[in-house]
Amino acid sequence: KANDIPKALTYLQQAYTLKPKDYETLRLLGVAYGLSGKTNEAVIYFQKALEEKPEDTEAMFNYGTALLNAGQTEVGNQYIQKAIEKNPEIKKRYDME
């Protein structure tokens, strides 16, 4: 069923148990936790995703956005700005122009 976040989290946690360093699993866990309103968990998984791909601008942007949502405005903005500087296309992708 579409938008079944609890079920998605169950499957993603199983995938995480099998491959705890898989970037895509970490990223999707961040997205799912963010959508479910669990901001602190989203921050944790987006940070882990960024650790796996430290130069990935998508990972930087996601982590920065999660930090903003968690109230860590200054640090969040730094990650978002860094992502945009490295990849200006992100502004278009997230309709920021």
Which domain range does residue 13 map to?
5-93
Angstrom distances, CA of residue 14 to CA of 10, 42, 87: 6, 17, 32
Q: Do residues 40 and 56 lie in contact, with contact meaning Cβ atoms separated by under 8 Å?
A: no
pLDDT, tens digit, 9 for 90 and up, residues 39-91: 999 999 999 999 999 999 999 999 999 999 999 999 999 999 999 999 999 98
- Counting the structural domains of the chain, the total is 1
**CATH number, position 78:** 1.25.40.10
Instruction: Please check the confidence at residue 92 and state whether its pLDDT lies above 90.
Output: no
